[in-house]
A and B are shown apart, each in its own frame.
Chain A
């Protein structure tokens, strides 16, 4: 089994509609029932982000705002478990349909 990150790409701000939330819940239930679920969550908008740099000698530096200024940001994500990419692709397609947004699928380092 391998783990995959499914990031939900969100081109325009705004939270999921009620219908979308219901579809996401149903999709999550399916993931759990079929043993693919690891973790999932929605994220607050990029304007709530803080960039933290703890590499220096002294105190960590905090900077307001998202690290990347981009029209596309990640609105949420799933971490899935799947035996191979074919299964992961099928699951990601289901996730994309449920949340009504494009997603990006990436494997974790194995």
Chain B
């Protein structure tokens, strides 16, 4: 990569969302915003090698994209004078003083609108905010390029026809809508961290990195939101263990068996600082903050034997009160096993309505193995292997099963 390529890549990361968001507000049309921004970047790639990088690349790109949009609208207006283009993404609500004033935040909320299908929210966010190309997004989600293109087009059509507003939601809607945005970001992260599909690498660093980058952006735009900070901390503390999580032979390495020296101390320090800041705020934490705190406990222990399991259980107790779902109970039981033993944990796991969830069977298998109940453990491993979609996890479970003693 030449220096100039690097500059363009960096500018693309830093400025794409800003240019799209500014144009979307000015022209009231996501399609135009997206296409003209892409064209402005193409022009930059053509011109900058000869003309040099402008002193303010963001402003240059916005101006270029703006001019292109005006040209195109003029051409279209001439062609179909009678059909005057109605502006669709209207925002005539006056912003209260001190409200978050950044077009990128409007863009994020529009892309993550609850009236859109979840897959469409993910795709649209990666395209419009993340600046990934349609082929890149299609590859990331193992979808045909044409189908992914259609998904994005369909979402944009709905935004326009149904008048999904281009604005930060009203105060009364804000908490639910922020939760929706965070769910999209976490989905992107998990698709990278727990990549599924037989031909896929076990961990997709490109997707986890993109999710972190987008979450950093949302955090910069909403610095006061505890859950945004919590999600970022959760991602950082998870990402810190990414390389230690898969062995050289492509097998999952469980938390207890990971080489903790291979963990990324810088990410851990950043994650811990975020968790500490949230604790110091004295506000009641939401689910992402609690999950981040759980991960802070794990990454605090230099050795798995130093893990403060009672702290982990206490945090899961807190989470159960917010979200008494069976998956939360399952994770709590895993920590309980470390304090009260596998017998007690198994009693809490058995009966959870999670028969279709691979982690339920993997957990049961592990507890049964520790209790020496090999035959039952084998059946549970079989079921977990059947359901697991991640290649590294399948490899790990298979080895564990095959190491069970026959009697």
- Segment at the interface with A among B165-173, B197-205, B366-374: B165-173
Looking at A83, A85, A88, the one whose CB has the most chain B CB atoms below 10 A away is A85
Flag if A110 contacts B86 (CB, 8 Å). Answer: yes
- Among residues of A, the one whose C-beta sits closest to the C-beta of B115 is A85
| Chain B residues within an 8 Å CB radius of A105 | 162
| Cβ distance A39 to chain B, nearest Cβ, rounded Å | 19
For A86, give its contact among B86, B88, B161, B170 (CB under 8 Å).
Answer: B170
| Chain B residues within an 8 Å CB radius of A25 | none
| Cβ distance B220 to chain A, nearest Cβ, rounded Å | 24
| Chain A residues within an 8 Å CB radius of B169 | 86
Bound: A74/B90 CA distance, A: 32
A84: CB under 8 A from chain B?
yes
If the complex has contacts A84-B90, A110-B86, are A89 and B115 also in contact, measured as CB distance less than 8 A? Answer: yes
Tell me how many residues of B have a C-beta within 8 Å of chain A: 13
Bound: A83/B90 CA distance, A: 9
| Chain A residues within an 8 Å CB radius of B86 | 110
| Cβ distance A110 to chain B, nearest Cβ, rounded Å | 6
Bound: A56/B117 CA distance, A: 41
Complex interface residues of chain A between 71 and 94 (CB less than 8 A to chain B): 83-86, 88-89
| Chain B residues within an 8 Å CB radius of A107 | 161-163
Flag if B115 contacts A2 (CB, 8 Å). Answer: no
A interface, by DSSP: helix, strand, loop or mixed? mixed
| Chain A residues within an 8 Å CB radius of B173 | 86
Flag if B165 contacts A86 (CB, 8 Å). Answer: yes
| Chain B residues within an 8 Å CB radius of A83 | 90, 163, 165
Contact with A along B194-219 (1 / 0, CB 8 A): 00000000000000000000000000
Complex interface residues of chain B between 140 and 176 (CB less than 8 A to chain A): 161-165, 169-170, 173
Bound: A20/B170 CA distance, A: 29
- Among residues of A, the one whose C-beta sits closest to the C-beta of B166 is A84
| Chain B residues within an 8 Å CB radius of A88 | 162-163
Tell me how many residues of A have a C-beta within 8 Å of chain B: 12
Bound: A86/B170 CA distance, A: 9
Looking at A84, A107, A109, the one whose CB has the most chain B CB atoms below 10 A away is A84
How many pairs, one residue from A and one from B, have CB atoms within 8 Å of each other in the complex? 32
If the complex has contacts A84-B90, A86-B169, A86-B173, are A110 and B115 also in contact, measured as CB distance less than 8 A? Answer: no
| Cβ distance B32 to chain A, nearest Cβ, rounded Å | 17
Complex interface residues of chain A between 41 and 83 (CB less than 8 A to chain B): 83
- Among residues of A, the one whose C-beta sits closest to the C-beta of B89 is A84
| Cβ distance A93 to chain B, nearest Cβ, rounded Å | 11
Bound: A52/B173 CA distance, A: 45
| Cβ distance A88 to chain B, nearest Cβ, rounded Å | 8
| Chain A residues within an 8 Å CB radius of B161 | 107, 109-110
| Chain A residues within an 8 Å CB radius of B115 | 85, 89
| Chain A residues within an 8 Å CB radius of B162 | 85, 88, 105-107
- Among residues of B, the one whose C-beta sits closest to the C-beta of A107 is B162
Bound: A83/B88 CA distance, A: 11
| Chain B residues within an 8 Å CB radius of A84 | 90, 163-165
| Chain A residues within an 8 Å CB radius of B164 | 84-86
- Among residues of B, the one whose C-beta sits closest to the C-beta of A2 is B163
| Cβ distance A109 to chain B, nearest Cβ, rounded Å | 8
Contact with B along A9-27 (1 / 0, CB 8 A): 0000000000000000000
| Cβ distance B100 to chain A, nearest Cβ, rounded Å | 17
| Cβ distance A94 to chain B, nearest Cβ, rounded Å | 13
| Cβ distance A85 to chain B, nearest Cβ, rounded Å | 5
| Cβ distance A5 to chain B, nearest Cβ, rounded Å | 11
Looking at B90, B163, B164, B165, the one whose CB has the most chain A CB atoms below 10 A away is B163
Bound: A95/B165 CA distance, A: 21
Bound: A86/B86 CA distance, A: 19
| Cβ distance B158 to chain A, nearest Cβ, rounded Å | 9
| Cβ distance A47 to chain B, nearest Cβ, rounded Å | 32
A-B contact pairs, 29 of them (CB 8 A): A2-B163, A83-B90, A83-B163, A83-B165, A84-B90, A84-B163, A84-B165, A85-B113, A85-B115, A85-B162, A85-B163, A85-B164, A85-B165, A86-B164, A86-B165, A86-B169, A86-B170, A86-B173, A88-B162, A88-B163, A89-B115, A106-B162, A107-B161, A107-B162, A109-B161, A110-B86, A110-B88, A110-B161, A110-B163
Please give the residue numbers on chain B whose beta carbons come within 8 Å of chain A beta carbons, in ascending order. 86, 88, 90, 113, 115, 161-165, 169-170, 173
Question: A84-B165, A86-B173, A106-B162 known; 19 other A-B pairs, CB under 8 Å?
Answer: A2-B163, A83-B90, A83-B163, A83-B165, A84-B90, A84-B163, A85-B163, A85-B164, A86-B164, A86-B165, A86-B170, A88-B162, A89-B115, A105-B162, A107-B161, A109-B161, A110-B86, A110-B161, A110-B163
The 5 closest A-B pairs by CB, nearest first: A84-B165, A84-B163, A107-B162, A85-B164, A85-B162
